[in-house]
Amino acid sequence: MVHLTRHGEVENPKHLVYADLPGFRLSAVGRLQAKEAARYLAARPVVAVWSSPLERAIETAQFIAARHQLPVRVDEQLTEWHLSSRWSGIQWEDLPNRLPGELEAYLERPWDLDFTSETLEDLAERIADVAALLSERYLDGDVVIVGHQDPIQAARLRLTGADHRRQQDGKPGHAAVVSFRPETPWRELSVWEPKTTSADTA
C-alpha cells in the first residue's frame, strides 16, 4: 500500500502564504497531529518514509519514520505546487488586493490558470510519477509519502482516474492519511484524519 500523508498544521501567526519559504515548521497542534498520524500508521508494515524537502513535511515524516525505526528520505519532486511560490510571503487576506482575481480563479477553476508556471496537470503528473515509482520500488511493504495538500489531491485524482475538476472537493486536512492499493487505476482504500484540531487547543 501507499499512504499519501499531508503535513501537520504549521506555525503561521501572520497567516502568510508560506509556499516554499524556509522557517515554517509545525505548530504545537501540528506536532500532535503528526504524532497521531504516526500512531495510526504504526501497525502498518511500513518499509519506507519519503518526504517533500520542506521543513513542515520533513518534521511530520520524522514522527512517522521513528515508529518504524526508518530514516526519512527526501525527494525534491514532492515539494509544494509551484503556483504558491508566486504568492509566498503575502497574507492570505491581502492576496485578492495584491493579485486581483488569482485566488478566486484558484478556488473556482484550478485546472485553468494562466498565471502559474506549473499547471495542475503538471503537478498531478509530478507527484503521481513519484508515487508510482516508489510503489514499484518497495514491493515488500507499505510506503508513506509526506507532502502537501494540493499536490496530494492532484495525484490522488490522477492515480485513481478521477476528474481533475474535483481538485477542490474533499482535500486532505492536516496530517491526513490517504491510503491506496496500486492497481490500474489505483484504488483509494481509506482516508484517515487526526482528531486534534486548532479548536481543540484554543
Instruction: Note the pLDDT tens digit of each residue in 82-139.
Output: 999 999 999 999 999 999 999 999 999 999 999 999 999 999 999 999 999 999 999 9
Q: Quickly count: other Cβ atoms within 10 Å of residue 183's Cβ.
A: 9
Predicted TM-score (pTM) of this structure: 0.95
Query: Is the pLDDT at 201 greater than 60, yes or no?
Result: no
Helix (H) or strand (E) holding 31: helix 28-41
- Alpha-carbon span 177 to 144, nearest angstrom: 9
- Alpha-carbon span 14 to 73, nearest angstrom: 30
Q: Kindly report the average pLDDT of the chain as a whole number.
A: 96
Joined together, the cell numbers standing for residue 33 give 497531529
Residue 199: band (very low, low, confident or very high) from pLDDT cuts 50, 70, 90: low
Q: Which residues contact 54 (CB under 8 A, 6 or more apart)?
A: 7, 20, 24, 79, 80, 148
User: What pLDDT does 202 receive?
Assistant: 37
Joined together, the cell numbers standing for residue 85 give 511560490
Query: Is the pLDDT at 150 greater than 60, yes or no?
Result: yes
In the three-class reduction of DSSP (H, G, I as helix; E, B as strand; rest coil), residue 192 is classed as: strand
Q: Which of 193, 177, 141 is nearest to 1 (CA)?
A: 141
Does domain 2-201 fall under CATH 3.30.70.1250? My reply is: no
